[in-house]
Amino acid sequence: MIDPALLVAVPLAGSALPAVASRLRPRTGWPLALGVLLVQSVLAVWVAAAALAGDPVRTQVAGIPAPFGIGLLVDALSAPFVVLIALAALAVLAYTRRGGPRSGAFYSLYLLLIGGLTGVCVTTDVFNLYVFLEISGLASYGMVAQADRGAAALAALKYLLVGTVGASLYLFGVGYAYVATGTLDMAALRAALPAASDPLALAALGLMVLGLSVKVALFPLHTWKPDAYEAAPPGVAALLAALASTVAAYALGRLLLAVFPGVAEAVVDAALLGLAAASIVAGSLLAYRSESVARLLAYSSLAQFGIVVVGFVVATPTAIAGSVVHLIGHAVMKAGSFLVVGLLARTHDVRTVAEYAGLARRSPYVSAGFAVLALGLIGIPPTVGFAGKFYIALGAIEAGSWTAAALVLASTLFGLVYLGRVLERMYVGEGDTHAGPTGAASPGMYAAVAVAVLATLALGGVGPLVEGWLAPVLDGLDAGLAMGVVP
Amino acid sequence: MLERLPYLAAIALVGIGLAVLVDDEHLVKKVLGLNVFQTGIFLFFVTAAAREGGSAPNVAKAGPYANPLPQVLILTAIVVGVSVTAVALALLVRIHAEYGTLREDAVRAAIEEGRE
């Protein structure tokens, strides 16, 4: 059995290599990053397979027992995300060989981001989670600023200011949780919080949820997102769209399911459902009004994460499985879409919805790929986008939560409107059909897009599988057992 | 009331920091506001660590003593805060080199101008 600490240690230790090596010999950053990520992917798949086949894989860092030491845990809830991070990083890396910034420092940040995000997924200590949140945050601010244009520096600064406020609010909540219970271990917190003083526990929950909502970018805490994703290099936008908010949403879900059940549930559920509804409606509206396709996709993320939060609020096993599937599916589809946007900007110099007119005739294969990804984001079967939404809606109906079910269905209609607008332009819009290509794309770029499109279709049937994996873990949480203890 | 004073100071710092961060157009002041905001949170942890009538496990001297764990956490958080400030200042240097100003409205106007 391998130690889950390696999942964090390998990319963090590896992140020193590209920056140092590229000073000694130029252009060594990419192969080194590839090597580290290959090792990381093998480890991730190995640990996840062990966790899904049998008992969760856990370790205590430096052998200090819980609740005093920091625990690392890969269970059925975190395993899909650990694998997603490693594989998405590999796919986007193929794109950045020609398309991305190619400095050694960039690949160091890339590995730092992967290490930080994996840490958020595996840690069972709420303060440790803050540290990993900030490691991944710092890496992503630096990566957004890698674009040549000056606007990227301002977008990165805005991302930094808003993101740090979010992480600090989370830290504030950790402080309240510690004052209320005297522990930082998630399992110990869960046992101690219901007996703790109500105002302290509620303040801890409120601040931690608020802080993570900034990182997830729920409306109206989303302002960093469109600027950052539009200004970042396409490879970076794809990686962040796949992973940054996804991992924050995972952390939010883990806290709601494994740490805070029993603390003011009615109030928190109503507040989160309101936040999710605002995200779905406002995100769709802002996406509809966007001219730039990158901004449209960024705003669409608000609506999609709203749906994920609905699943965590409903919190039946079906709905939770739906949220996990939708998080993974959204990561694949949104990353693929951003890669297409970057590819088309390179090959045809188009960036706005108007400029996409008639693109299906000029670039039929890439357009067809984008169409599959967009239909997935809307939630049309047999894509993974449909599977996630279907399970969340099914869970909501089972739980008798009609507001939640209506929100999911409404989001699908909204998606049809704002993404349909792009598809309509591409396929029936009258555009400049004779303009030749303005630049070449590498095989790696096409391969990364193809992987995303195939995964969108292939993962469509993954719902029952995820539900089966999660069942024992959720049973354990329901029975009040510590996290990762399977009854 | 007096023992609650540090908590009030912490909350005041959080509020002042956030207000400066949101309200000021000068980007350096925004970064300073962020620092003040974080300092308020650090102060909250350190205040909560204070123990009246506490004793240390292996030191016989009379107090006052504090719970060391929140202080260690904040030591880590300060390091994180310093790193964030360093990255922010690096971005400010780049913005200033590119646009010759550090006022957000002026930078935005320059970006809009470049787009047209």
pLDDT per position as a tens digit, A292-345: 888 999 999 999 999 999 999 988 888 888 999 999 999 999 999 999 998 888
Instruction: Choose, out of B84, B108, B116, the residue to mutate when testing the contact with A (most A CBs < 10 Å).
Output: B84
Poorest-pLDDT segment among A50-64, A124-138, A196-210, B11-25: A50-64
- Asked if A145 and A175 count as a contact pair (C-beta separation under 8 A), the reply is no
Q: Could you give the angle at which helices A104-122 and A79-96 cross, rounded to 10 degrees?
A: 170
Q: Report how far residue A50's alpha carbon sits from residue A27's, in angstroms, rounded to the nearest whole number.
A: 36
Binned at pLDDT 50, 70 and 90, residue A148 comes out as confident
Residue A485 pLDDT greater than 60, yes or no:
no
The H or E element containing residue A106 is helix A104-122
Instruction: Give the number of other Cβ atoms within 10 Å of residue A1's Cβ.
Output: 9
User: Is B37 an interface residue toward A (CB < 8 Å)?
Assistant: yes
From B94, which residue of chain A is nearest by alpha-carbon distance?
Answer: A153
ipTM of the complex: 0.94
d(CA B104, CA B107): 5
Q: Is the pLDDT of residue A356 over 90?
A: no
Q: Which residue has the tokens 């205040």?
A: B47
CB-side neighbour CA atoms (13 Å) of A19: 12
Question: In this predicted model, what pLDDT tens digit does every residue of B77-104 receive, in sequence order?
Answer: 999 999 999 999 999 999 998 888 888 8
pLDDT at A227 over 60: yes
Q: How far apart are CA A421 and CA A101, in angstroms?
A: 31
Domain coordinates of chain A in residue numbers? 5-478
User: Under an 8 A CB cutoff, do A175 and B98 touch?
Assistant: no
Q: What is the tens place of the pLDDT at every residue in A360-396?
A: 888 888 888 899 999 999 988 888 888 889 999 998 9
pLDDT over threshold 80, residue B53: no
| pLDDT at residue number A97 | 81
Residue A174 corresponds to which amino acid? V
* A142 near B CB under 8 A: yes
Q: Does B47 touch chain A (CB under 8 A)?
A: no
The answer to whether residue A228 neighbours chain B at the CB level (below 8 Å) is no
Among B28, B30, B74, B80, the residue to mutate for chain A (most A Cβ within 10 A): B80
Is pLDDT above 90 for A2?
no
Distance, CA of B78 to CA of A280 (rounded, Å): 36
- DSSP reduced 3-state for B116: coil
- Compute the distance between CA of residue A280 and CA of residue A415 in angstroms, rounded to an integer: 10
Yes or no: say if A306 and A283 are a contact pair by the CB < 8 Å rule.
yes
Is residue A409 pLDDT above 60, yes or no? Answer: yes
Pairwise CB contact (< 8 Å): A157 & B92:
yes
User: Residue B65, Cβ neighbours under 10 Å: how many?
Assistant: 16
The pLDDT of residue A318 is 87
pLDDT at B17: 94
Mean pLDDT of all residues belonging to chain A: 87
Confidence of residue B20 (pLDDT cuts 50, 70, 90): very high
Long-range contacts of A56-63 (CB under 8 A, 24+ apart): A56/A473, A56/A484, A56/A486, A57/A1, A57/A4, A58/A4, A58/A124, A58/A484, A59/A3, A59/A4, A59/A5, A61/A5
Q: Virtual CA dihedral for A418, A419, A423, A426, nearest 10 degrees?
A: 70
- Range of B17's domain? 2-115
Give mean pLDDT, residues B48-68.
Answer: 79
Please tell me if residue B45 touches chain A, with a CB cutoff of 8 Å. yes
In this structure, which amino acid lies at residue A82?
Answer: V
Q: Alpha-carbon distance A186 to A67, whole Å?
A: 9
CB atoms under 10 Å from CB of A27, counted, come to 11
Strand partners, A123: A72
pLDDT at A41: 92
| pLDDT for the residue A248 | 94
CA quadruple A114, A166, B50, A126: dihedral sign: negative
What is the mean pLDDT of the segment spanning A426-452? 77
Give A16-49 pLDDT, tens digit per residue: 888 888 888 888 888 888 999 999 999 999 999 8
Sign (positive or negative) of CA dihedral A390, A395, A399, A403: negative
Residues of A in contact with B26 (CB under 8 A): none
How far away is chain B from the Cα of A112, in angstroms, using its nearest Cα? 14
Q: Which residues contact A88 (CB under 8 A, 6 or more apart)?
A: A239, A242, A243, A331, A332, A335
Instruction: Supply the mean pLDDT for chain B.
Output: 88
pLDDT at A468: 79
Domain CATH code at residue B54: 1.10.287.3510
User: DSSP label at A124?
Assistant: -
What is d(CA B50, CA B63) in angstroms, rounded to the nearest whole number?
11
> Rounded to an integer, what distance in angstroms lies between the CA atom of residue A455 and that of residue A433?
30
Phi, psi of B53 (to 5 degrees): 70, 20
Q: Is residue A139 a contact partner of residue B87, using CB atoms and an 8 Å limit? A: no
Q: What is the pLDDT of residue A355?
A: 84
What share of chain B in percent tops pLDDT 90? 48
How many separate domains does chain B show? 1
A80/A124 Cα distance (integer angstroms): 16
Residues 6+ apart with CB under 8 A from A381: A387, A390, A460
CB A240 within 8 A of CB A143: yes
Q: How confident is the model at residue B116 (pLDDT cuts 50, 70, 90)?
A: low
Q: What percent of chain A has pLDDT over 90?
A: 34
Closest among A204, A258, A200, A212 to A77, alpha carbons compared: A258
